[in-house]
Amino acid sequence: MTPELGQLALILAMLLALAQSVLPLVGAWRGNRALMAVARPAAAGQAVFVAMAFGILAWAFLRFDFSVQYVADNSNLALPWYYRIAAVWGAHEGSLLLWILILNVWTVALAAFSQKLPEVFASRVIAVMGLIAVGFLAFIIFTSNPFGRLLPMPGDGADLNPVLQDPGMTFHPPMLYMGYVGFSVAFAFSIAALLGGELEQAWVRWARPWTNVAWAFLTCGIVAGSWWAYAELGWGGWWFWDPVENASFMPWLVGVALIHAQAVTEKRGSLRAWTILLSIFAFSLSLLGTFLVRSGVLTSVHAFASDPRRGVFILAFLTIVVGGSLLLYALRAPKVLGGKPFKVVSRETALLISNLMFAVAAAMVLLGTLFPLIGDALNLGRISVGPPYFGFLFPLLMLPVVLLLPFGPFLRWGKGESLVLKQVLMRAGIVAAACAIVAAFFVDGQLKAIAGVGALVWLTVGVLLYALKRWREMPRGRRYPAEMAGMLLAHLGVGVFVAGVLLSESLSVTRDVRMAPGETQHIGNYDFRFDGVHHTTGPNWTADQGVVTVTRNGNETTVMHPQKRTYPRGQVQTESAVDAGITRDLYVALGEPMDANDIEGAWALRLYYKPFIRWIWAGGLLMMLGGLVCATDKRFRIKRSARAEAGAEAADGLQIQETRA
Amino acid sequence: MPMNPTRKRRLTIVLSILAAAAVAAVLVVLALQNNMNYLLTPSQVQSGEAASYNTFRLGGMVKAGSIQRSSDSLKVTFTVVDAGGAMPVEYTGILPDLFRDNQSVIATGHMDGARFVATEVLAKHDETYMPKELKDAMAKAHEGKQVEEAGSGESGMGSRKP
């Protein structure tokens, strides 16, 4: 009975979502306040029913209700409770339920924090969120019902894919979806602005914190995914340019561009149309990501077995969203080039260059990811584009960004001075070059590693020089407003990330070896001694567990226990052992026994020494932190009932900015 | 029309964007050409379709009982089959968890005589999942049709990756 209640809750939620979208839109059009007032209660009601549906599915998992097909397919009696919770979003239907739940979290937050916005604008924004919810709820109800019954009820269920039975799995999808879905808020703001023909750019300031927070979540989700792939998939890599990774990376890249474009539009009024276009693209790419993962049209390690009808539905939805919003854009985008003029040497130009680079990078990734579909359509054969395509073009596109980053903050809006740029170039350049030369002696002249150290120092010194300048020139308390502090943190993160990538790529040592018990391998100053394999058991698996003792100059560093797990239905899952450190990771994964009948004999082992790999994720987390800090800036809080004062506020903001610059 | 400063500046900006776009387009096309990997099944390879590629992806099923491991190194040999052909494959390294008899695999590598030497082997990730492109390729080969690839005319394509 309860699962049917879940189904009912979803249908009610869809009806409320319809009310939430249609009525306020009509109200805003007709100037009918009663209709506009429907937006918030309808959103709250929808959220209650969606949360109820989600809760019912989670409850079915916790209670082993195998009469529900989805539960029977993705869990069994032996699965620990925490993985049964994670199993709610472990496959197609449930992950869509998570999607819609998170959309509701954002909508409710929006409804709560938009009380001071002009009523017409706020109700349009909430209505657009409602439209998105209608699309996804229809998708769940008509093609992907998670509450379908399996009768007669089996005694035990199947299993959650073992790859997903990892702490990272409980964390990665919700974070990623928070980011994906969060871009719907920026999208809704843009659409509402287009619908209302907002001439003022005040709405951009209201949209900014939302975009920053969504982007921060997406960053966190990507970092968690990268770390999970590293720890769980046993390949020791942190990024594979896999279609599904690209699917999350494209909105991220556009998100970076959007965050910076919004800053320009808010403060100077320029790039209005571009900002709107970017927010449409960011959300469309999030939808495309969902389509790529769910439809199974591309060969990916993430692909689920799937139903072609679903792909068609999402594709149709995608077409309506992208087509509709672009049409609206074409009809309503501000025709006049607005904003204050700027010279070639100015902050606007710097931000424009970075925007261009990130937009082109996103387009490049999109082309490479969709190329198999294009090849298929043009009958070119079954082609995929290899990682070297991305690995060659992406760094090339990011090189100007890294080189120009330290200059950006020093440039004034409108017209910058070249003198200060020369100073920065001299100071940061000299320190970076000096450090790179010193580093060359430690890394055996590896060019990539030297470049990594150089980039780290270049970016860090650039950020510090600017921080110092603020410290000297501004009075206490106004030196580092949140927006500024967030920017500095995120830019520091870029340096840490680049250093992590270049150092770990160039200095890593990877060795696949055959080792008999007692044998030792010497890798990067460490001795790995293989002490054999024994049998062990866990809550729902049995495993061959290896013992590898690592010593350095005779002192024991750590004892590692890589596993080869076997799950109830015979699925095998390699569980690598990682000894993490700030300057290096040691990583051991078990291959196969050389003789399948003698597990105590020799094994194939994969041994890695990975210097500075944690810096990659540390850099990502700094960027995330930057985004979150930015969003807390006092300037973004809507102080008055903004309807009448929107214009006055914008002028206010500009004044503050002028004194800050 | 005389060039006033604004007009001139705009022209410079437009021209530099165009130039950058052209450079980007050329780089993208080059990078694409060098990194396109074709997926072929054993029967397609045996009918000579792989001749023009240095590197390609071989897709099919692992023939039951064909997996042989070397006793003193990590070298593994196995046979990949589809409905109409079989191809011996050699690989040195650690195979993925889901690699076993009768599983679908995609191996990246090159031909060495009559053998395929793989540098990377991917097995399917989920037990019920078979990559769509591999399903299509095998369905095509199964029909016994001579598969004509419009793109195979471009010679010298394929990855430079070793």
pLDDT greater than 80 at residue B51? no
To test the contact with chain A by mutation, choose from B33, B55, B82, B97 the residue with the greatest count of A C-beta atoms within 10 A, namely B97
Question: Cβ contacts of residue A489 below 8 Å, gap of 6+?
Answer: A622, A623, A625, A626, A629
Q: What pLDDT sits at residue B153?
A: 29
Query: Rounded distance, CA A127 to CA A510, Å?
Result: 53
Is the separation of the CB atoms in A660 and A633 below 8 Å? Answer: no
Q: How far apart are CA A382 and CA A88, in angstroms?
A: 34
Largest Cα span, chain B: 82
Which pair of structure tokens corresponds to residue A588? 């051991």
Q: Is the pLDDT of residue A402 over 90?
A: yes
A360 contacts in B (CB within 8 Å)? Answer: 24
pLDDT of residue A363: 92
Task: Indicate the residue of B20, B24, B126 with minimum beta-carbon distance to A161.
Answer: B126
pLDDT confidence of A99, banded at 50, 70, 90? very high
Taking a C-beta distance cutoff of 8 angstroms, is the pair A468, A489 a contact? Answer: no
Nearest chain A alpha carbon to B125: A301
- The contacts of residue A2 (CB under 8 Å, 6+ apart) are A56, A59, A60, A65
Nearest CA in chain B to A512: B93
Residue A525, pLDDT score: 87
| pLDDT tens for each residue of A332-353 | 876 655 677 788 788 888 999 9
| pLDDT surpasses 70 at A656 | no
Residues in CB range of A234: below 8 A, 6 or more apart: A574, A575, A576, A589, A606, B97
Helix (H), strand (E) at residue A173: helix A167-196
Q: Which residues of A touch B98 (CB under 8 A)?
A: 571-572
Q: What is the pLDDT of residue A212?
A: 96
Count how many Cα atoms sit within 13 Å of the Cα of residue B132 in the half-sphere of its side chain. 22
Q: Judging by beta carbons within 10 Å of its beta carbon (0-12, 13-18, 19+), is residue B3 exposed, middle or buried? A: exposed
8 A C-beta contact, residue A548 and residue A520: no
One-letter-per-residue 3-state SS of A405-444 = HHHHHHCCCCCCCHHHHHHHHHHHHHHHHHHHHHHHHHCC
Length of chain A equals 661
| pLDDT per residue as tens digits for the range A480-490 | 899 999 999 99
From the CA atom positions of chain A, what is the Rg in Å?
Answer: 27
Question: Closest approach of chain B CAs to the CA of A626, in angstroms?
Answer: 30
Q: Does pLDDT of B1 surpass 80?
A: no
Interface probe with A: pick from B13, B32, B104, B122, most Cβ of A within 10 Å: B32
Q: Convert the pLDDT of each residue in A576-622 to its tens digit.
A: 899 988 999 999 988 888 877 788 888 888 899 999 999 999 999 99
Distance CA A650, CA A648 (A): 5
Is the Cβ–Cβ distance between A200 and A646 less than 8 Å?
Answer: yes
Residues 6 or more apart whose Cβ sits within 8 Å of residue A502: A448, A449, A451, A452, A455
Helix (H, G, I), strand (E, B) or coil at A546: strand
Tell me what the mean pLDDT of segment A440-455 comes to.
Answer: 88
d(CA A256, CA A401): 12
A246-275 pLDDT tens trace: 889 999 999 999 999 999 998 888 888 889
The answer on pLDDT for B158 being more than 80 is: no
Close Cβ partners of B111 (under 8 Å, ≥ 6 residues apart): B45, B50, B117
CB-based contacts of B21, cutoff 8 Å, min separation 6: none
User: For residues A588 and A95, what is the distance between their CA atoms, to the nearest angstrom?
Assistant: 32
How far, in Å, CA of A146 to CA of A71, rounded? 8
* Crossing angle of the two packed helices A119-143 and A167-196, in degrees rounded to 10: 130
- pLDDT at position B156: 28
Alpha helix segments (H runs only) across A75-166 = 81-87, 92-113, 119-143
